[in-house]
Structure 1
Amino acid sequence: MNDHYLKKLDRVTAILTQLQSKPIVRAQDLAQKFDVSVRTIYRDIKTLENAGIPIIGEAGSGYSLMDGYKLPPVMFTKEEVLSFIAAEKLMQKFLHESLGSHYQTAMEKVRSVLKYSDKNLIENIEKQIDVFNYHAKTEDNLRNVIPIILESIAEKKQLTMEYKTMDSKISTRTIEAVGVFFEFNYWYIWAYCLLRNDFRQFRVDRILQIIKTQNSFLQEYGQINEYKRNGDGNKTKVRLLVDRKIINYLANSKKYYGLIEEVDTENGVELTFETEWINDGFPRWLITFADYATILEPESLQVKLHDLIHKISNKHT
């Protein structure tokens, strides 16, 4: 069998996997994924139909498997099996505990369809992979909190919750959840808050009670990364000149605080930010390397940093 037919066999098999995992698949998306023409995808779909796979749809729209059609258990390559082991180790450290038991059940199902040799491979290699996490694990007040949130997003139903703020006050909120995200060792909800009439993020471990209502969303929302990237528009431009010998130590945090441009100059590295935390978060971050940085703009940040340093100095003298 020549390379052409091997590539076609791999692609047709992969298309079948796509049909199994998604409610509808567009030919254009498949063509882009496999780097072939749409016409080639049409021929591949015809190959599957000729093999007896009941596919619903037609050229120009989308394809799906006939409802109720069952396929034999999928087989995994050795490389895929090894990737499962590494992913499982990561999930054990970072997966939210409300999803942990569900993930474990899913992995048991995956293991059940592995060949005997692959099961031996897992047994021999899984103790040789570990993920070291030096942050304390957060504890939730509720069980199954993230599944409830995800259900509300899928069904577009509002949530009501009791939430403990940073100053330990209890607040009752009605929200329309856009998505969940993991950042700096905490899980958060990004949501539209009906109390504040604005977007807010809520730390999941501070939720004391949560209920999915039967009230539908009042508006449509985009993808969570669009909101995290764009914010609410109330941003301040900041320019810093930073000593290049410490720039590598800011590799991750500078993006979190809104880095939009980085220019290497004769006098150091000029960093430009658009930040929403000009009043508190940004100056507190800046103070950690302020002896290696010069504030180019805005002047108000110089005042905030000076006041913060003065406050710290008075407290510890």
Structure 2
Amino acid sequence: MRRAERLFELVQLIRGRRLSTAAWLAERLGVSTRTVYRDVADLIAQGVPIEGEAGVGYRLGRGYELPPLMFSSAQAQAMVAAVRVAVSRLDDRMARDAEDALGRILAVMPTTERTAADRLALFVPGHLRERMPGREALAPVRLAIDQRRKLRLDYRDAAGAASLRVVRPLGCFCWDTVWTLAAWCEERADFRHFRLDRMVAVETLDETFGDEPGRTLADFLRRITTERGSRP
């Protein structure tokens, strides 16, 4: 790993945790603790707001953003691949945002890494987007999740039976060719899955919701994990 890449990775590791010890950082980076101490000192000298001290731990000051300049060629290609695959499954707005974000990242990369990303021969044909029904519902659903606002769904189940549901949207899951919404259904007083392609209409309500014990995304994921673990 080049030193520039190691410094970038060091900042990312510190940013991702409340407090990171030099020993933990050294193990993750495959270097000695003395190298970590030296790298941290160099980053601080360059203006990176790392707080803490040797023997205690380090954390990154709030609001700091590191320009995405130090990616390897393989990492640059991985980002291009991820965006090309993702846009075939995203709603139009997020797909455009993903492509724009990738363009901005590539624009500030060194020539070698940018060239490697540009020559990646991995493509997802545009017509495959039509195989992802329900994408048009993804934008309002994910916005409601972000804003913590309830949804009213005009829904049709697999048999075509209609129902109106008021739900607390918790998370969207991609199953290759279909999106589902995990939500707390107020009518059933329980967690439910809703396929986006079976949503006839989606209305975002003004009513917001907060975290309540037993009704959160974490609770939903724990239940799924428990149920999966109990299967023979």
Confirm or deny: 8 A CA contact 1:162 1:209 kept in the other structure: yes
Q: Secondary structure at 2:166's aligned position in 1?
A: strand
* Identical aligned residues as a percent: 19
Confirm or deny: 8 A CA contact 2:165 2:186 kept in the other structure: no
What do the CA deviations read for 1:136-176 (whole angstroms, capped 9, x no partner)?
A: 22144546224314414xxxx34222231212413121325
Determine which of 185, 195, 199 is the counterpart of 1:193: 185
Is the alpha carbon distance of 1:146 and 1:15 closer, same or farther for their aligned partners in structure 2, counting shifts above 3 Å? farther
Give the Å deviation of 1:194. Answer: 2.3
Confirm or deny: 8 A CA contact 2:140 2:204 kept in the other structure: no
Confirm or deny: 8 A CA contact 2:73 2:114 kept in the other structure: no
Give the Å deviation of 1:32. Answer: 5.5
Give the Å deviation of 1:187. Answer: 1.1
What do the CA deviations read for 1:182-201 (whole angstroms, capped 9, x no partner)?
A: 12511112222222111111
C-alpha separation in 1, matches of 2:154 and 2:197: 9
Is the alpha carbon distance of 1:61 and 1:226 closer, same or farther for their aligned partners in structure 2, counting shifts above 3 Å? farther
Is the alpha carbon distance of 1:7 and 1:99 closer, same or farther for their aligned partners in structure 2, counting shifts above 3 Å? closer
Confirm or deny: 8 A CA contact 2:68 2:109 kept in the other structure: no
Which residue is 2:82 aligned to?
87
Counterparts of residues 23-38 of structure 1 (less than 5 Å) = 24-28=17-21, 30=25, 33-34=28-29
Moved more, 210-219 or 82-91: 210-219
Which residue is 2:202 aligned to?
209
Is the alpha carbon distance of 1:60 and 1:191 closer, same or farther for their aligned partners in structure 2, counting shifts above 3 Å? farther
Determine which of 95, 98, 108 is the counterpart of 1:100: 95
Give the Å deviation of 1:40. Answer: 6.6
Which residue is 1:144 aligned to?
139
Determine which of 162, 167, 180 is the counterpart of 2:153: 162
Amino acid at match of 1:229: T
C-alpha separation in 2, matches of 1:76 and 1:12: 11
Q: Secondary structure at 1:101's aligned position in 2?
A: helix
Give the Å deviation of 1:9. Answer: 6.1
Higher alpha-carbon Rg: 1
Confirm or deny: 8 A CA contact 1:161 1:172 kept in the other structure: yes
Is the alpha carbon distance of 1:224 and 1:101 closer, same or farther for their aligned partners in structure 2, counting shifts above 3 Å? farther
Is the alpha carbon distance of 1:82 and 1:105 closer, same or farther for their aligned partners in structure 2, counting shifts above 3 Å? same
TM-score (norm 2): 0.72
Give the Å deviation of 1:35. Answer: 5.2
Which residue is 1:65 aligned to?
61
Residue 38 of structure 2 is aligned to residue 52 of structure 1: no
Give the Å deviation of 1:78. Answer: 1.7
Q: Which has the higher contact order (CA 8 A, sep 6+)?
A: 2
TM-score (norm 1): 0.55
C-alpha separation in 1, matches of 2:189 and 2:32: 46
Is the alpha carbon distance of 1:122 and 1:52 closer, same or farther for their aligned partners in structure 2, counting shifts above 3 Å? closer
Gaps of 5+ in 2: none
C-alpha separation in 2, matches of 1:221 and 1:136: 28
Gaps of 5+ in 1: 1-5, 232-257, 261-272, 275-317
Determine which of 149, 168, 181 is the counterpart of 1:175: 168
Q: Secondary structure at 1:27's aligned position in 2?
A: coil
Confirm or deny: 8 A CA contact 1:75 1:113 kept in the other structure: no
RMSD, matched Cα: 3.7
Give the Å deviation of 1:229. Answer: 2.5
Q: Secondary structure at 1:222's aligned position in 2?
A: helix
Is the alpha carbon distance of 1:105 and 1:210 closer, same or farther for their aligned partners in structure 2, counting shifts above 3 Å? farther
